[in-house]
Amino acid sequence: MDFVCGIKPDGWKEYELIDCGNLRKLERFGNQILIRPEPQALWTPALSDNEWKQQAHVEYIQKGSHKGDWNSFKKLKDEWQIRYPLAPKKDLVFNLKFTAFKHVGVFPEQAANWTFIADQCKRIHKPKILNLFAYTGGASLAAKAAGADIVHVDSVKQVVNWASRNMDSSGLKDIRWVVEDAMKFVQREKKRGHQYNGIMLDPPAYGIGTSGERWKLEDSIQEMLETVSDILTEKENFLVLNAYSLGLSPLIIENLVKSNFKTSNTLECKELYLESTTKFKLPLGVIGRFSS
């Protein structure tokens, strides 16, 4: 099986996966160290529980199926920033905070896609890019930093506002923000005859749209890709599909992409992972991407 590493232990100075195991992960975001649940970390961690607690500032405790609380061990900031060096003179800036859903506003493994997106945008003349299920906008920032005209679509107004703050903090401007159900948006774009050079999708396993639309990845991804294929330009194009779902494999992603797109010989479908400082490789979804 092919793999792609989001960030190697020495690859991003402001983020570090320190250790993982026993269904948890120990991470550093800037100067704050977090313990969070991780359902795929089935092994025994390299460091002891005592070593984890000595390092950590805070731990997320699950309360119910979707929400939880943060239990702090040391003094920490409720909100802070980290930077990702996309290019020698261009940093993406992420505003982080603790949420009830265990996330803090950035998915570090996606850095593997940010570089890919920026490189693709640089080779295309006046690239027009669409980011679906865009959350706090790492992919949108990468595209805009590379000179793209970018449309950012997410059904949750709060995270779109969060992404807008990240744009401002990164010294960027003129991303188009759309708060809408992703499926409805691409269906409307198809009817209007609009097309994009690059499309990024990071669909959740489950989701609810702005008007209560229900999304389940396994039920809806084929229809979504069929529609997306009609709004992707035939030339000077690229696609990035990311999926974090325990039921999907790189082979399934490969078949989905091949059945809907002309991918030439550039299609790569791989398992995405982060490598911990203690040398574990933590799987964090699968990606499929191609360019022409």
Task: Enumerate the CATH 3.40.50.150 domain ranges in the chain, comma separated.
Answer: 107-291
CA–CA separation, 68 and 270 (whole Å): 31
Whether the predicted pLDDT of 1 surpasses 60 = no
Query: What residue has token string 């797109």?
Result: 261
User: What is the CATH T-level fold of the domain 3-79, as seen in this structure?
Assistant: Immunoglobulin-like (2.60.40)
Whether the predicted pLDDT of 212 surpasses 70 = no
Q: 108 with 8: CB under 8 angstroms?
A: no
Task: Enumerate the CATH 2.60.40.1180 domain ranges in the chain, comma separated.
Answer: 3-79
Q: Identify the band that residue 222 occupies on the pLDDT scale cut at 50, 70 and 90.
A: very high
How does pLDDT run across 229-254, given as a tens digit for each residue?
A: 999 999 999 999 999 866 788 999 99
In this prediction, residues 148-168 reach a mean pLDDT of 97
The pTM of the full predicted model, rounded to 2 decimals, is 0.93
> Which of 48, 11, 18 lies closest to 35, judged by CA?
18
Supply the pLDDT for residue 132.
97
76 compared with 120, residue with greater pLDDT: 120
CA–CA separation, 194 and 188 (whole Å): 9
Strands ordered across the beta sheet of 68-72: 15-21, 24-29, 32-37, 58-62, 68-72
CA–CA separation, 44 and 201 (whole Å): 33
Whether the predicted pLDDT of 215 surpasses 70 = no
Supply the pLDDT for residue 100.
93
Q: Which CATH superfamily is domain 107-291 in?
A: Vaccinia Virus protein VP39 (3.40.50.150)
